[in-house]
Structure 1
């Protein structure tokens, strides 16, 4: 595969994530991650088995994402992708970006980690306050 093919595949992977989140399609969202994948925000990192509950607890709306910056390194890659989320009922926005790691699997490129950084009105960039979402901890 050429580097261009890898970039296109990763961009399509991230598009499937955004469309899945917009439509509330948990299966589509989970399919873009490796089985050991994690999502980080709100001061915590969540394994995939917590993702359905996170999605259920999250506001609903439109996930607008920009073209990611991707650094390829063989069968691994890192990237940053800007995000603007627009909540459906009041059109309130959240803006920020994802910092990602990717890995090439037998099924193609997948997200291994996705970490959200919010951009605040103050100009601060942070991962957010601890989330109201609670999960049982080992």
Structure 2
């Protein structure tokens, strides 16, 4: 097999993978609970659910957005009583954000809804198709993490 054929095969696989990932991600994002916060806000809630307390700059880095953008998002989350802010114990200049019980519940409801949607779609596949996805998922994670 020549180098040109390998390149074309990689291009074709890459194009199909990009198309599938973009469509799946778009569909996954569109599965929202009534009144759910924005995608960026949900990413902040999920990050706080995992980390407990985070600074604004850490939240921005996690969500891959600017400080200005995450600042607006966190303000909205504060207004909804989903997060609270406090001063750092070691450095009082450091402002840290923490999930409230309401924020934790909003995060859990959103996760459950999207999980239920995805599980419903997976249930529509054959056992062999689900096995294919199970085999490919670690490869996709490896690509994403490299």
Tell me the TM-score range normalised by the shorter chain: under 0.3
TM-score, normalised via structure 2 length? 0.23
Give the structure with the larger strand fraction.
1
Give the structure with the larger helix fraction.
2
User: Which one has the largest radius of gyration?
Assistant: 2
TM-score, normalised via structure 1 length? 0.24
